[in-house]
């Protein structure tokens, strides 16, 4: 339960110790050029300085040609390098050399629970960015998944700050070790798409630091992230792009961030406040930080010292990232074998097996006829909806993957079963939740009766889950529940694969299916990966990075009434949509989002409530069986080492993600029932036994002390719990934390 204080505040304060400093804990490369930057700034005119502080083209900002300082080139991401656009519009440049690898989206990466995969992901993105002439990747996207219906839940990583943070650190190091800057986004608390252009998030200082800012802090302090993007929304009454607390007090002073902040496109709302609180580059235009800023300096409203500091922060990044000659960029093919191989390895490890009544893997000795049902079996997910997409050279669909993976003597029959929600339907503002198409359903049922196995590809697509708007429901679209029920009556041997970026309601398809999997929006090689899992070439090993609720009303933001917000006379589109259509993006409405659930996001909430969940955080089955034993907890200089023995009790090789949670039953402050504090992915051969050690850092055992404005470590008895998901923790041991 969420405990309240049981001792005096004075005793609690005396028993705690500050645990972190205000400086970065990972060495930065951005301060290696300060002397050179001093000379550059001295030689610049005021006009040249101002010219660096706003967009030049749709995805670039100006350098200093006279001094040989190149423009900054931005790569829209975060799951693939976007195609080239016309300089001042959202129209394609129609090049033939600007394709890229479609990497699995954020929720898929998070389902791997692998920092190695996150590092490879960042490195792969950087390699392609360099070939395309880009200096900064607009990613990773690391906002917390507060609601399952969020339009960008598929881009974000997890509901848990530690999982999000550790993956963000690895992604950042992978990209920047290869030479491309990251731009962490969206800073901060951009946890919904509806009304994101003007919603004002009200949140306590502790919840903000412990849950929503923690991934950003980790990527800045532990990976030296060189860039951040300010979010569209407000936080505690101030736009993120001019928020002194976020941009100056926390980011630059507490975390020691020396890099640059860019706005989200059209996300600047002032001149003086934006530049003085820390904004470096207004994108994509110059409305506030062009002539208006020049005039403000000349009028004495902004000092040139502030301008010099903003220019310095840009130059730190510019001189650290080697520019690519524009004559070289986009001259070599992108989406090559190495990056496709990385995308495949991530996709393989992301697929989550939720249920298996011995239907999987497919037994080729007994299964000779298979019906593949559902348009998601043939739908490509690299493009769709609003916002970033990838013009990929290759995307293997699930049907193509199965056709390549199955023996020639197995007959595959494909029927669509339903008509997917498409762009035309979205533009008409129709609901994705429509009745089943009777004709298509009848054809699917007929096919199901004639086969040994049905594989039903259900779920969403990129038109259902999209930037700019949140889903209004987690019910499966296009009458898929009705279709699933009919298919199950026709053939009890049905496997359902959910293709989505976030949770959906599986209350109908789960009991109708003998096996249930989640394959996400899984990138260029996603079809090959799901085919390998279904046919048993590999064992599924993904784990859910977010809770899958039974009902939307059980989700904390919905249960507390803080989402969705109600707005009368809403006649405005999304802020980004307005920009792409050359409409005014001024936001005059006022709308409050009170995060009344505080730190109780995701599994933290469900642990304290009677409402059941469909599938818990960290859950995922395997074709193998793993046994946990012999837990030991020992103190180290940096925290704890949690050791145990993991045994693969099956006859097949497989990987397991072991998770460490900590409970504080005797805490003097309010805490969740348990919190994730460590994890590790382990590969074991059939029958292999291995001692596994997972470090738990002291910094991750701290809580945020709002009055002291620092992280504090509370000593006392903690319970260390280990297992394969948040609801399967067979090992537990008390430890006296000092």
**Measured between alpha carbons, how far is 724 from 628 in angstroms, rounded to an integer?**
9
Cis peptide upstream of residue 78 (ω within 30 degrees of 0): yes
Residues 6+ positions from 173 with CB-CB distance below 8 Å? 119, 122, 223
Q: Are 646 and 692 in contact (CB under 8 A)?
A: yes
Kindly report the number of other CB atoms within 10 A of residue 554's CB atom: 18
Q: Is 264 considered catalytic here?
A: yes
Helix, strand or coil for residue 599? coil
**Measured between alpha carbons, how far is 401 from 549 in angstroms, rounded to an integer?**
30
Q: Are 708 and 661 in contact (CB under 8 A)?
A: no
Q: Which long-range contacts (CB under 8 A, 24 or more apart) does 731-735 make?
A: 731/628, 731/629, 731/631, 731/644, 732/631, 733/631, 733/632, 733/633, 735/633, 735/640
Q: What are phi and psi of 661, to 5 degrees?
A: -120, 155
Kindly report the number of other CB atoms within 10 A of residue 383's CB atom: 17
Spot the catalytic one: 76, 135, 224, 264.
264
72-76 vs 60-61, strand pairing mode: antiparallel
**Measured between alpha carbons, how far is 33 from 302 in angstroms, rounded to an integer?**
26
Cis peptide upstream of residue 225 (ω within 30 degrees of 0): no
The DSSP 8-state label assigned to residue 324 in this structure reads P
Selection from 22, 14, 20 nearest residue 714 by Cα: 14
Catalytic amino acids? 264
């Amino acid at each position: 339960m969420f405990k309240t204080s049981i001792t005096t505040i004075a005793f609690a304060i005396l028993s705690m110790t500050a645990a972190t400093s205000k400086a970065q804990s990972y060495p930065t490369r951005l301060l290696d050029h300060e002397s050179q930057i001093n000379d550059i700034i001295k030689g610049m005119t005021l006009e040249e300085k101002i010219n660096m502080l706003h967009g030049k083209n749709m995805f670039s900002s100006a350098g200093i040609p006279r001094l040989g300082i190149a423009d900054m080139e931005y790569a829209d991401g975060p799951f693939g390098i976007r195609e080239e656009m016309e300089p001042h519009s959202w129209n394609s440049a129609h090049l033939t050399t600007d394709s890229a690898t479609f990497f699995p989206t954020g929720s898929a990466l998070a389902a791997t629970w692998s920092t190695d995969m996150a590092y490879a992901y960042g490195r792969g993105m950087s390699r392609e960015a360099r070939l395309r002439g880009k200096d900064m990747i607009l990613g990773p996207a690391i906002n917390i998944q507060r609601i399952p219906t969020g339009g960008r839940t598929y881009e974000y990583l997890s509901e848990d700050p530690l999982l999000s943070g550790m993956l963000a650190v690895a992604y950042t190091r992978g990209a920047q070790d290869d030479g491309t800057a990251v731009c962490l986004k969206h800073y901060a608390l951009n946890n919904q798409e509806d009304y994101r252009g003007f919603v004002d998030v009200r949140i306590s200082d502790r919840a903000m630091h412990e849950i929503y800012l923690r991934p950003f802090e980790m990527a800045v302090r532990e990976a030296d992230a060189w860039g951040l993007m300010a979010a569209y929304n407000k936080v505690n009454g101030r736009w993120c792009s001019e928020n002194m607390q976020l941009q100056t007090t926390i980011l630059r002073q507490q975390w020691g961030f020396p890099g640059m902040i860019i706005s989200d496109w059209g996300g600047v709302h002032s001149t003086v406040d934006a530049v003085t609180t820390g904004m470096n580059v207004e994108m994509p235009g110059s409305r506030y930080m062009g002539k208006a800023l020049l005039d403000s300096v000349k009028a004495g409203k902004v000092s040139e010292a502030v301008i010099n500091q903003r220019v310095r922060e840009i130059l730190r990044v510019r001189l650290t990232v080697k520019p690519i000659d524009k004559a070289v960029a986009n001259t070599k093919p992108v989406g090559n074998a190495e990056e496709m191989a990385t995308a495949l390895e991530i996709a393989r490890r992301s697929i989550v097996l939720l249920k298996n009544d011995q239907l999987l893997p497919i037994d080729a000795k007994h299964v000779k006829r298979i019906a593949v049902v559902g348009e998601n079996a043939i739908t490509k997910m690299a493009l769709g909806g609003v916002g970033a997409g990838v013009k990929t050279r290759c995307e293997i669909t699930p049907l193509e993957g199965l056709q390549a993976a199955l023996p020639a003597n197995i007959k595959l029959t494909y029927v669509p079963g339903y008509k997917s929600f498409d762009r035309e339907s979205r533009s008409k503002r129709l609901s994705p939740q429509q009745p089943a198409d009777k004709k298509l359903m009848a054809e699917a049922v007929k096919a199901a009766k004639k086969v040994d196995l049905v594989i039903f590809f259900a779920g969403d697509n990129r038109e259902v889950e999209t930037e700019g708007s949140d889903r209004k429901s987690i019910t499966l679209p296009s009458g898929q529940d009705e279709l699933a029920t009919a298919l199950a009556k026709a053939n009890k041997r049905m496997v359902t694969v959910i293709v989505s970026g976030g949770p959906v309601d599986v209350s109908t398809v789960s009991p109708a299916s003998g096996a249930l999997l989640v394959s996400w929006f899984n990138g260029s090689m996603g079809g090959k990966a799901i085919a390998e899992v279904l046919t048993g070439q590999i064992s599924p090993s993904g784990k859910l990075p977010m809770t899958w609720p039974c009902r939307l009303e059980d989700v904390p933001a919905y249960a507390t009434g803080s989402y969705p917000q109600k707005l009368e006379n809403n006649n405005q589109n999304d802020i980004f949509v307005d920009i792409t259509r050359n409409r005014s993006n001024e936001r005059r409405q006022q709308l409050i989002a009170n995060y009344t659930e505080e730190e109780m996001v995701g599994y933290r909430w469900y642990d304290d409530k009677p409402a059941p969940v469909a599938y818990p955080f960290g859950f995922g089955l395997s074709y193998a069986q793993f046994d946990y034993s012999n837990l030991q907890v020992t103190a180290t200089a940096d925290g704890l080492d949690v050791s145990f023995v993991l045994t693969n009790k099956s006859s097949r090789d497989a990987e397991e993600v072991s998770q460490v949670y900590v409970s504080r039953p005797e805490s003097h402050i309010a805490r969740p029932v348990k919190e994730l504090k460590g994890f590790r992915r382990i590969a074991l051969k059939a029958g292999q036994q291995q001692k596994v050690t997972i470090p738990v850092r002291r910094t991750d055992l701290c809580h945020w002390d709002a009055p002291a404005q620092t992280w504090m470590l509370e000593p006392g008895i903690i319970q260390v719990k280990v297992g394969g998901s948040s609801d399967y923790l067979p090992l537990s041991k008390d430890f006296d934390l000092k």
